[in-house]
Structure 1
């Protein structure tokens, strides 16, 4: 993404597409990682503690929403939309000149 942006410019369709892909990757990845971590933590507690059972309630107790990463991913997706709008304006300008 950085090499393409340095060669062709920041406001291109390709840069916007790569930025959007990075935003979605971060959003989905952080949520999946948090779910897997909470399930692993609950399963480990269930194997180590005698009075602790592994069920949906125990998983919910260990799950914490990754707010910082979600907001970062949403910010990246917003920048991707801005880049796409800039790419459209750049194409319009090149068509006029």
Structure 2
């Protein structure tokens, strides 16, 4: 089942990229820069950019290639991260089903999955944050918002937990092998 989900996430990644490249519609981005500001009609936005009444949503009707790529960079990293995490999880489950839960292969694959989630979560969040920050900056040049990290960063803690559990399982496998050798 997880293999099917991984493939579906991969297909969603490819489909989203292809349809977004072929799309010629507006590119929109959400920003909280002006959330508490009281701006009338003098919003510091670029030419061709439409702002919502609260000035938290900016849309460019005829975006440049860079703006379209930055908009794509706000969506694709999490799809790719999800597809790869599900693929690694599928390999972990396959090892559990084939060899049993307390084997060196399972401990190794659990550690790999943990490191991937630990490093991949903030990396995907940075790519999304940088893309959105650049997109806001291209639509509203006066806004100097720096790159942000978006997404569920608590996943990094889950990844570290998986790394630790992989090390504990590896030590348990060694202890079991020593015990089997003694008996």
Q: How far apart, in 1, do the equivalents of 2:151 and 2:128 lie?
A: 12
Aligned: 1:28 with 2:105: no
Unaligned residue ranges in structure 2 (runs of 5+): 1-91
- Per the TM alignment, residue 27 of structure 1 is displaced from its structure 2 partner at its CA by 1.1
Equivalent residue, structure 1, for 2:96: 5
Rg larger for: 2
Q: Which of these residues, 70, 76, 79, is aligned with residue 156 of structure 2?
A: 70
Say yes or no: does 1:87 pair with 2:183: no
**Secondary structure of the residue that 1:58 maps to in structure 2?**
coil
Contact 2:121 2:153 in 1 (8 A): no
Q: Does 1:48 align with 2:139?
A: yes
User: How many residues are treated as equivalent by the alignment?
Assistant: 92
Q: Which residue of 2 aligns with 1:14?
A: 105
More helix by share: 1
Structure in which a larger fraction of residues adopt strand: 2
2:70 maps to which residue? none
| TM superposition score normalised by structure 2 | 0.46
SS for the counterpart of 1:34 is helix
1:37 is matched with which residue? 128
Evaluate the alpha carbon distance shift between residue 91 and residue 32 of structure 1 in structure 2; reply closer, same or farther with a 3 A threshold.
same
Distance 1:25 1:50 in 2: 36
Give the CA RMSD over aligned residues. Answer: 1.7
- Which contiguous aligned blocks of 4+ residues in structure 1 show a shift greater than 6 angstroms? none
